[in-house]
Amino acid sequence: MTQFKTLPGAFIIILTLVMTLSGFAAPATQATQEKPQKKEIQEGAHYTVSKATSEIKVDGVLDEKTWEDAVVIKLPYEWLPGDNIPAPVDTDCMVTFDTKYLYIGFRCYDPEPAKIRAHLMDRDAIDTFIQDDHVSFMFDTFNAERRGFQFRVNPLGVQADAILAEAEGYEDFSWDLIWKSKGKITDWGYSLEIAIPFNQLRFPKSSEAQTWGFEAERSYPRSVRHRMTSHKRRRDVSCILCQFNKLTGFVGMSTGLNIEIDPTLTASRTDARDPFPAGSLQTGDEEVDPGITVRWGITPNLILNATAYPDFSQVEADVAQLEVNTRFALFYPEKRPFFLEGADFFLTPIQAVFTRTVADPAGGFKFTGKAGRNVFGIFGAYDRINNLTFPSNQGSWQDTEEEKVMSGVFRFRRDVGRGSQLGVLYTGRMTDGYYNHVGGFDGYIRLSRTKDFRFQYLHSETDYADATALANGQRTGDFGGDAIHAEFMHMGRDWLYSAGYRDRNPSFRADYGFVPRVDIRSASGLIGRFIWGKRGSWFTRLLFVVGGDVTYDHDGTLTDQSVQLQAQYQGPLQSTVTFVYEQVKQRYLNVLFDLEQITWVYEVKPAGGMHFSLVTQFGDSVDYANARRADALVLSPFAEIGLGRHINLNLMHSYQRLNLGVDKIFEANLSQVRLIFNFNVRMFVRAIVQYLDVTRDPALYLFPVSEREQSIFSQFLFSYKLNPQTVLFLGYSDNYFGYEGIDITQSDRTFFVKLGYAWTK
């Protein structure tokens, strides 16, 4: 392994690319669509699409002649909660195209149009969006039954879009395209008109007519959420894309130059109290950061992204999480556009790629593509700081080094057989005196229409700077480690069962990823039974599950064990009730604790714009600060209320209490309020306030602690989005802190403005 330890990451990427690129070098006539192998299941219907016979104005009216001539695809099946029973309402979907745009129209008939649920909101606000009436459609442009481009629109034209990577089990609504949609509510229901530029999609480069997989779906939420599709969706088939309809006739599409240039300008000023808390707020310096990102579609299926001094700022505050009595690093999802392009290409069972580790980059590039059965992705970044996570069996912690880091990722995947794939992955981070290289292989094997198997093996080589290693209790010098993941899954109409194995060597590190726990050998399994209700019954679905897992460290010591019983009810008013009983063994600081825990979850969506839930957990827990058994109570109520079509109020609270007998060790309250006023589909104002209050009994701790900690974070934002990249944001945020003997006091405030523009050609 000597060569692997010292070989620069960029050279590894180039060498691997040269060795595998032969699969992409075939003539264009060979880079055609993959033809799925012989079917195990009945195919969806086949339709032929034709070019538009008149110009289309995207206004939601559907009065152009071309809609009369377009192919009509009906949605006759309800697949949830019914099992391919007749749909309760009629829906027509029309598809056509010209050289530049793919057009989709919907006529959604409703016997009671006054009950249509439709609200204004920001695009991709999917948790709120799915409460509304809406349609969705998905294209499998490579007809490979592995990856789909998903689009959703509500009756007011609000958009949501996502990537569905089926083998990875990945549906990502942070993926964004620039497209047009309009909706109109009528006296017979509502209509929708959509136009998607071909230069925003990926599809094979071919002069021949192409066949794409296609699904149209309508969500009709009333007492239950009726979901209707254009094809039968069988419960005894776990794959989704393999059941799609097929659309034939796409030919002569033009992507133009297929160039998108997104310049941005971000300006901010932060005022801070110095000294805290007695000092006054000192006016900070204005910071102006220009940046630019370029997206070039070399071909419709090979995309190059590059950025210089990029704008990686995010204006959406992370959802607050309680960090009291936790052992492992918390996960916050990626939201930055540059990293989200082609993000599904880099997904593997072990999360070896987590791009939020790239915190303050000066620049980066990304090259992703698919040709035939071959898929690849490369990206690199030059980061101005080095974020590190130090994992172990008992916990993890993080550190930031003020040093510049070169980093890169290479991914190659080969589609094999019917729905299976094999791949290799490399990640690397390097700076003076430090490196972390990770490489390995993985696969997804579809064994049958209900069974699949995932596996991955990774090896890492790491060398921390001596000062970093000593400060964080890590090894000095070079060390290597291995990680293994294997999982078998059966998902049928009536039965669910799975078995898995995970192994993380104590010296395995994935500094480009999110692997907060190592030194484990873990086996798990579960079996579940579905019972389906009929239309109008007191339940829509019942689920009963028995599962368990066991974890040892690499010295053979039992560290975790659990047995779990779960029951779930789904019924009218879109209600869900889940009950979980769990017996747990958990080792902490060489003490094995026997614990019993009960979790109860209730969720209901009784009307349009209304969503309520409550999570309750109580029973035994471990007081990690003092290494002893304790009694825990966790309550997490949530409410979302739509006040008319323009106002959305979101209330979230987390309560956590830990007791030693009758004495309270600590009590933590975390509240978040989000209030949004939507002027239209493009413009809104939003206020977010987060409040944290933690009280402790110092007499119950083995070391000095503060009796009380408080903090308040607030953010106010004006947003105008012509599309996901052409934006104007004006905002203000501040922080307040309070401690024992110090009243809650403002520590800082920030003013910011962001301008972004998307130029496409």
Q: Is pLDDT above 80 for 35?
A: no
pLDDT score, position 324: 64
579 falls within a domain:
yes
Q: 52-63 burial by CB neighbour count: b if 16+ within 10 A, else e?
A: beeebebebebe
- With bands split at pLDDT 50, 70 and 90, how would you rate the model's confidence at 457? very high
Tokens of 426: 């490399």
pLDDT score, position 170: 79
Give the Cα separation of 312 and 253 in Å (integer). 33
3 falls within a domain:
no
Poorest-confidence range of 12-16, 365-369, 515-519, 570-574? 12-16
Average pLDDT across the chain, whole number: 89
Distances (CA, A) of 106 to 69, 234, 536, 711: 14, 24, 28, 48
CB 285 within 8 A of CB 269: yes
The DSSP result for 740-756, as a single string, is: TTEEEEEEEEEEEEEEE
Strand boundaries in 372-419, DSSP class E: 374-383, 386-391, 396-401, 405-416
pLDDT score, position 340: 72
What is the mean predicted confidence (pLDDT) over 580-597?
A: 95
Q: Are strands 302-308 and 451-463 parallel, antiparallel or unpaired?
A: unpaired
pLDDT score, position 698: 95
pLDDT score, position 322: 57
Poorest-confidence range of 107-116, 359-368, 526-535? 359-368
Residue 141 DSSP code: T
**Of residues 4 and 191, which shows the higher confidence score?**
191
Provide, rounded to the nearest whole percent, the portion of the chain with pLDDT above 90: 72
Q: Is pLDDT above 90 for 307?
A: no
- With bands split at pLDDT 50, 70 and 90, how would you rate the model's confidence at 333? low
Q: How many CA atoms within 13 Å lie on the side-chain side of 468?
A: 22
Its pTM stands at: 0.85
The parent domain of residue 170 ranges over 47-250
What is the mean predicted confidence (pLDDT) over 461-471?
A: 94
pLDDT tens column, 205-241: 888 999 999 999 999 999 899 999 999 999 999 899 9
pLDDT score, position 17: 39
29 falls within a domain:
no
CB 221 within 8 A of CB 131: yes
Among residues 216, 250, 284, which one ends one of the domains?
250
Give the Cα separation of 110 and 89 in Å (integer). 6
Give the Cα separation of 532 and 542 in Å (integer). 6
pLDDT score, position 609: 87
- With bands split at pLDDT 50, 70 and 90, how would you rate the model's confidence at 362? confident
Distances (CA, A) of 474 to 26, 282, 351, 470, 520: 48, 39, 22, 6, 17
Poorest-confidence range of 4-18, 77-91, 329-343? 4-18
pLDDT score, position 137: 98
319 falls within a domain:
no
pLDDT tens column, 246-290: 999 999 998 888 899 999 898 889 999 999 998 999 999 998 889
What is the mean predicted confidence (pLDDT) over 76-99?
A: 96
What is the mean predicted confidence (pLDDT) over 680-699?
A: 95
481 falls within a domain:
no
pLDDT score, position 5: 40
Question: For position 196, which CATH number holds?
Answer: 2.60.40.1190
pLDDT tens column, 153-197: 999 999 999 999 888 877 888 788 999 999 999 999 999 999 999
CB 340 within 8 A of CB 174: yes
Among residues 195, 226, 250, which one ends one of the domains?
250
- With bands split at pLDDT 50, 70 and 90, how would you rate the model's confidence at 40? very low
- With bands split at pLDDT 50, 70 and 90, how would you rate the model's confidence at 26? very low
Poorest-confidence range of 319-328, 422-431, 568-577? 319-328
Among residues 599, 624, 649, which one ends one of the domains?
624
pLDDT score, position 315: 52
Angle at 548 between CA 547 and CA 549, to 5 degrees: 145
Proportion of the chain in helix, strand, coil states, percent, rounded to 5: 10, 55, 35
Cα dihedral: 245, 246, 250, 253 (round 10):
60
Q: Is pLDDT above 90 for 6?
A: no
103 falls within a domain:
yes
What is the mean predicted confidence (pLDDT) over 76-93?
A: 96
Q: Is the dihedral of CA 84, 85, 89, 91 positive or negative?
A: positive
- With bands split at pLDDT 50, 70 and 90, how would you rate the model's confidence at 70? very high
pLDDT score, position 320: 55
Residue 330 burial by CB count (10 A; 0-12/13-18/19+): exposed, middle or buried? Answer: exposed
665 falls within a domain:
no
What is the mean predicted confidence (pLDDT) over 649-653?
A: 96
Q: Is pLDDT above 60 for 28?
A: no
pLDDT tens column, 374-403: 999 998 998 888 888 899 998 888 888 888
What is the mean predicted confidence (pLDDT) over 294-321?
A: 73
CB 598 within 8 A of CB 617: yes
Domain count, the chain: 2
pLDDT tens column, 46-65: 999 999 999 999 999 999 99
pLDDT score, position 434: 94
Give the Cα separation of 271 and 78 in Å (integer). 56
398 falls within a domain:
no
What is the mean predicted confidence (pLDDT) over 445-471?
A: 95
